[in-house]
Structure 1
Amino acid sequence: MGYHIQVEANINIYVEDLNPEGCKTIVFIHGWPANHKMFEYQFDQLPRQGYRCIGIDLRGFGNSDKPWDGYHYDQLADDIRCVVEALGLQQFILGGHSTGGAIAIRYMARHSGYGVAKLALFAAAAPSLIQRAYFPYGLERAAIEKIIEDTYNDRPNMLQGFGNMFFFQHVTGPFSEWFFQLGLEAAGWSTAAIAKTWLDEEGLFSDLGTIRVPTLILHGLHDRVCLFPLAVAQHKGIKNSRLVPFKYSGHGLFYDQRDKFNKELVEFIEE
């Protein structure tokens, strides 16, 4: 079941709500530059096991409205809060992949974890996607500036290149094309705007220490986008957290090791 929820005047966010009568609710926040459909291999299985799965398309992506602005983490976290309140969600599990994980962390800090019972971070882009003087573990700033430049000059080519480094295990040509099309569903300006946010956002370092709920960190050892030391930093920064390395995964661990991913998530929910 899919529908739109208004988060601001003339701005509507798309929500996919699977098994609304499920026993426990998991809210999924996708990574850049895709949308909720990236979790297809979770949505195939978890509702069958009795869980309510809610996939949210961030503004600018998927089936959500694509305004010109509002692509900083504060606003994106506020959008999630609007969805949570509109659906009356309580004691849910909040899960985020990559940039979606960063937004989930900002939600926990900015909204005091409103309604969240547990947090799950999947290859999260936190506390910093890029290298900084005090954090040498991310990508080089120039690599992100190149992504932004390429987004403006030849976004399809940029998306294909990004997709080629996303997964560690082999994916078929049709699967690669499907994943590529997810990125094309976004607007060019929102795709670039999120990438610009990676350069300037430094608040996640302090956000980590505000998280009080049990937290699961799933991260591929071969991740070439959000390098594995980011997961180590998250684990150190979040007191009640558990880090599970994925030995045979890259950035797309939700597909690289989808059975293990689903199993770890379910076990965490039921703890």
Structure 2
Amino acid sequence: MGYYVTVESGVNLFVEDINPVGNKTVVFLHGWPLSHKQFEYQFNVLHFMGYRCIGIDWRGFGNSDKPISGYNFDRLADDIRTIVDVLQLDNFTLVGHSTGGAISIRYMSRHNGYGVSNLVLVDAAAPIGFSTETANRFLIQALNDRPKMMREVTDNFFFQYITSTFSEWFFQLGLQAAGWSTAAIIITLRDEKLYTDLQKILVPTLIVHGIHDKVIPFTQAQELNQKISNSQLVPFRYSGHGSFWEERDKFNQLLRQFIG
């Protein structure tokens, strides 16, 4: 079922709540510039296993409201905390992909990991996001030819072959976002760093990263593994930036084992 949660006056975020009666809860935070729908191939499987899956579209993306402000990691993490409070979530696993991984890290730091029992970072855009060169190129494209930018994102996202129809579906997910939110997150990924947040993560942490990732280098996953206590890194050898889809059977099995 889908519904909206108000995170501040005039800003409502879309939440997809699959199997609300599940005995264990998993909260998914998508990557830039996508939506919770990127996790379709996790939702398909996990709810049959008895898990409650909650997919959140952050502000500016997917089906959520698209205000002109609030696209820094602090505000995005605060949005997640509001949803956690409204839904009265506790003892849940937080899964963040790419920028969603960065938001998850800030949530753990800023809100002391409130309610989180396990953390999963998937091709996380941390402790840094885009290089200045990459960010500035994307920013120019986002402000002048956003479809071209999204096509480049799609072309560089996957290591494995994707069909033209899948590519088009993925492309359209990115275009659901507002132009201003797409651009604002590029600036955040360029300018905000997460080094000081890492030492505040105390829960068991699974780090998944494709070794062929062209968006966020695998070396950053190794750095996260070194700096987050009680973490384990699992390289995905046949994936780029989309390990949740490229090796989805392995990913889903690993996720189930980690959650327990």
TM-score class, shorter-chain normalisation, is: over 0.9
Matched, 1:146 2:137: yes
Where in structure 1 are there 5+ consecutive unaligned residues?
131-139
Question: Amino acid of the residue matched to residue 197 of structure 1?
Answer: T
Give the alignment's Cα RMSD to 1 decimal: 0.6
Matched, 1:175 2:166: yes
Matched, 1:259 2:249: yes
CA distance in 2, matches of 1:26, 1:61: 20
Deviations 1:204-232 (A, max 9, x none): 10101000000000000000001101100
SS in structure 2 opposite 1:44? helix
Query: Could you say which residue in structure 2 is the equivalent of 1:243?
Result: 233
Question: Amino acid of the residue matched to residue 100 of structure 2?
Answer: G
In the TM superposition, 1:50-69 aligns within 5 A as 50-69=50-69
Q: Report the alpha carbon displacement of residue 20 of structure 1 after superposing the two structures with TM.
A: 0.4
CA distance in 1, matches of 2:127, 2:227: 9
Consecutive aligned runs of 4 or more in structure 1 exceeding 3 Å deviation: none
Q: Report the alpha carbon displacement of residue 200 of structure 1 after superposing the two structures with TM.
A: 1.1
Matched, 1:207 2:200: no
Deviations 1:132-153 (A, max 9, x none): xxxxxxxx41111000000001
Query: Could you say which residue in structure 1 is the equivalent of 2:182?
Result: 191
CA distance in 2, matches of 1:3, 1:226: 32
Matched, 1:225 2:215: yes
Deviations 1:103-124 (A, max 9, x none): 0000000000000001000000
Deviations 1:54-101 (A, max 9, x none): 000000000000000000000000000000000000000001000000
Query: Could you say which residue in structure 2 is the equivalent of 1:135?
Result: none
Under a length normalisation based on structure 2, what TM-score does the superposition of the two structures give?
0.99
Q: Report the alpha carbon displacement of residue 199 of structure 1 after superposing the two structures with TM.
A: 1.4
Under a length normalisation based on structure 1, what TM-score does the superposition of the two structures give?
0.95
Question: Amino acid of the residue matched to residue 161 of structure 1?
Answer: E
Q: Report the alpha carbon displacement of residue 129 of structure 1 after superposing the two structures with TM.
A: 1.8
Question: Amino acid of the residue matched to residue 242 of structure 1?
Answer: Q
Identity %: 58
CA distance in 2, matches of 1:98, 1:4: 24
Aligned residues: 260
